[in-house]
Amino acid sequence: MITDQALSHLQPVESDPLAHAGEYERLLVIIPDRLSDLVRKGEVTARYYNPGDLFREVHILMTNDDRPDPVAVQPMVGSARLVLHNHPAGTELLVKTLGWRLWLLRGWTNAAIELAARIRPDLVRCHGARLNAFAARAIKISHGVPYVVSVHTNPDAAARVGSLRSRFMQRAIAAVEKYGLVGADLVLAVYRPIEPFLLRIGALNYRVAYNVINPIHLQAKTDYRLHRPIRIVSVGRLIAGKEPTELIAAVARLPDVELTVIGDGPLAGAMRRLAHRLGAESRIVFRPVVRNDELCAELPNYDIFAIRSDYFELSKSMLEALLTGLPTVINRRPGEPVPELAPDFCLLIDNTAEAYRAALERLIADDALRERLGRAAFAHANARWSPEKTEAVLVEVYRQLLASRGRAGSVRTAA
């Protein structure tokens, strides 16, 4: 039974209608993200929620109470009419359902089922496989609407390097995650290291489809002459397993080198204190928030990209650097290597200050190597992960799913 409160959550907030020239009528996108945060951080990627401008109308259902500015979100759905909805699933629901027990979540999904009955989507798209994918499966069971889910992390690997709280939350959500993924018409893994997780839980109907990166403001690096001071950039969340402690220590011992650390997180203060303690605060610049359009435009002006990540991933920031053609330094992660990363277009090193210092000194001293790695990264990345290629893959996937509606079975299996 839908309460009056739930009904009020599902009242739409619309943007001004634009051209609406898509091939298909309606797409329902269900996300856990707070769109206001993406707008604030400048992570508004054109057509992200409506690849190829396929749909005339895009409904975004947020499983939170966020109230973003529809005009600011509009570029993410292209020319489609945008309608925003809320169906919060916060701490109260966690407690009420005894830690997201499947049988206790059925009541929460009723509102999503009713919304789908009202808007009659042709397809449901989930970003992430949490409660949003659980709701998508309920919609499919009730209305026969196919759904596709993208997975952006490997939960098995993330649990080994994440905080105690994140490990607890992952354990609580595991059954919900499996339910949503196994029932999907197609799962999109945004990089190959997610495949072992999908195979383990039995979500065999999947395809690797990389993240869509900024299609407008990415620029190729063409000049590999060093700046003075030499400019190194590191981009990523400052969290456990990604904090650039050893990189900062290496730069502190390299004169005439400036490091820009872009990103925020719970370890930001510790990184600033480290730079101060090492006497390098004047050469290490911290920029907590940089709009993505601005960042992509700035990347060619750096000499070297260097990050630390123990996660089993190919991060968005890494993709942006490779697509720009920046010579790149990254640590080897503990355990199985990330299959997309190879030594012919980036330097893979141990996570020690000595290793970062040696790699940076090598790139600084060897002009030919620096340019060769940068151009190899550009060629490799653009052949596989260019915004045009990744958007085309999603358009193909959506068309397959729409063509399959009403037929039994899955669309495609890729191993």
pLDDT in tens, 284-300: 999 999 999 999 999 99
> 287 and 264 in contact (C-beta within 8 Å)?
no
Above 60 in pLDDT, residue 38? yes
pLDDT digits (tens, 9 = 90+) for 173-210: 788 899 999 999 999 999 999 999 999 999 999 999 99
> Would you say residue 14 has pLDDT above 60?
no
Do 4-209 and 230-385 have matching folds? Answer: yes
Domain range list for the chain: 4-209, 230-385
Query: Is the model's pLDDT at 7 over the cut of 50?
Result: no
Task: Tell me the CATH architecture of domain 4-209.
Answer: 3-Layer(aba) Sandwich (3.40)
The model carries a pTM of: 0.86
> Quick check: 210 and 319 in contact, CB under 8 A?
yes
Task: Between 335 and 171, name the one with better pLDDT.
Answer: 335
Please give the pLDDT value at position 21: 60
Per-residue confidence band for 50, with pLDDT thresholds at 50, 70 and 90: very high
Cα–Cα nearest to 330, from 50, 342, 390, 397: 342
Lowest mean pLDDT among 99-108, 230-239, 354-363: 99-108
Of the candidate ranges 54-68, 227-241, 333-347, 350-364, the one whose mean pLDDT is the lowest: 333-347
Residue range 74-99: mean pLDDT, rounded = 85
**pLDDT, average across residues 120-129:** 95
pLDDT band at 112 (very low <50, low <70, confident <90, very high): very high
Pick 230-385's CATH classification: 3.40.640.10, 3.40.50.1000, 3.40.50.1820, 3.40.50.2000: 3.40.50.2000
Q: For the ranges 78-82, 101-105, 222-226, 239-243, which has the lowest average pLDDT?
A: 101-105
Please name the residues in contact with 213: beta carbons below 8 A apart, sequence gap of 6 or more.
45, 296, 316, 319, 320, 323, 385, 387, 390
Q: Can you give the chain as a three-state secondary structure string?
A: CCCHHHHHHCCCEECCCCCCCCCEEEEEEEECCCHHHHHHCCCCCCCCCCHHHCEEEEEEEECCCCCCCHHHHHHHHCCCEEEEEECCCCHHHHHHCCCCCHHHCHHHHHHHHHHHHHHCCCEEEEECCCHHHHHHHHHHHHHCCCEEEEECCCHHHHHHHCCHHHHHHHHHHHHHHHHHHHCCCEEEECCHHHHHHHHHHCCCCEEECCCCCCCCCCCCCCCCCCCCCEEEEEECCCCCCCCCHHHHHHHHCCCCEEEEEECCCCCHHHHHHHHHHCCCCCCEEEECCCCHHHHHHHHHHCCEEEECCCCCCCCHHHHHHHHHCCCEEEECCCCCCCCCCCCCCCEEECCCHHHHHHHHHHHHHCHHHHHHHHHHHHHHHHHHHCHHHHHHHHHHHHHHHHHHCCCCCCCCCCC
Min mean pLDDT across 7-21, 118-132, 352-366, 375-389 is at 7-21
